[in-house]
């Protein structure tokens, strides 16, 4: 039984690498500057993010200068923010994507004189990793094995959806390549036709010129 559970957990970890997107990073942001982080997420996928400003002085309140404005948008909906928070030192967001796209989380620090440097801790998850399985277990009151099987089912479904998404992207790229090749062949043929036409006109002009000069 313990061997089976160990193998199951190993499979879960392997599948997670393929179907989840996790970004956990810490970066610096100067006053008056904006830094954006992009993540490609498929459609109808859950995504969650948490962020907070690192306190430079432990044991003291966070300075008023250490606040940021956060905006989360997609490349297809820049006029609508999935999340917006102004002058905050921490926050979180969660939403389900409507379509496959690149989603951008932008952090903007207010301009201060003298300038200060903020350290931002940002954790961004999507897919299966974005679900709170602890709460799922509490709400459903299921046993540990049932929860694990449900988790695996979600992961397998995620692999299935990811494969179809990648196949669609591959077909789009193939269509683009075929279209490009067709246009290139057409342009090549047209170029050859123009060159031959110009060469023919030059020969005709030279022949006419020599005949008028009675050289041939």
pLDDT bin (cut points 50, 70, 90) of residue 136 is low
Residue 195 and residue 171 in one domain: yes
Q: Mean of the per-residue pLDDT values for the chain?
A: 80
pLDDT for res 134: 60
H helices of 54-143, in order, are 133-140
Contact 53, 90 (CB under 8 A): yes
pLDDT bin (cut points 50, 70, 90) of residue 155 is confident
Q: Hey, CA dihedral for 74, 77, 78, 84, is it positive or negative? A: negative
Between the CA of residue 69 and those of 25, 29, 59, what are the distances in Å? 18, 12, 24
- With 70 as the cut, is the pLDDT of residue 77 above it? no
Does residue 38 lie within any of the structural domains? yes
What is the edge-to-edge ordering of all strands in the sheet holding 101-109? 34-41, 101-109, 68-74, 83-88
- With 60 as the cut, is the pLDDT of residue 139 above it? no
- With 70 as the cut, is the pLDDT of residue 4 above it? no
Residue 112 and residue 38 in one domain: yes
Does residue 9 lie within any of the structural domains? no
Residue finishing a domain among 109, 131, 153? 131
For residue 85, give the CATH number of its domain. Answer: 2.60.120.380
Predicted TM-score of the model (pTM): 0.55
């Amino acid at each position: 039984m313990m061997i089976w559970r160990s193998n199951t957990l190993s499979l879960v970890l392997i599948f997670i690498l393929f179907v989840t997107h996790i970004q956990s990073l810490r970066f610096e942001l100067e006053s008056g500057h904006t830094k954006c982080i992009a993540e490609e997420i498929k459609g109808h996928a859950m995504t969650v993010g948490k962020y907070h400003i690192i306190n430079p002085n432990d044991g003291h309140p966070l300075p008023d200068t250490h606040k940021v404005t956060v905006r989360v948008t997609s490349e297809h909906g820049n006029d609508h923010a999935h999340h917006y928070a102004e002058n905050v030192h921490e926050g979180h967001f969660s939403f389900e994507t409507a379509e496959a796209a690149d989603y951008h989380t932008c952090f903007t620090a207010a301009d201060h004189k003298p300038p200060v440097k903020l350290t931002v801790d940002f954790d961004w998850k999507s897919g299966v990793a974005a679900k709170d399985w602890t709460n799922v277990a509490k709400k459903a009151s299921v046993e540990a094995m049932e929860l694990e099987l449900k988790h695996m089912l979600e992961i397998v479904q995620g692999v299935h959806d990811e494969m179809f998404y990648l196949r669609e992207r591959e077909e789009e790229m193939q269509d683009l390549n075929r279209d490009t090749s067709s246009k290139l062949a057409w342009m090549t043929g047209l170029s050859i036709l123009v060159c031959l036409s110009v060469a023919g006109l030059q020969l005709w002009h030279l022949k006419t010129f020599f005949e008028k000069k009675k050289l041939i």
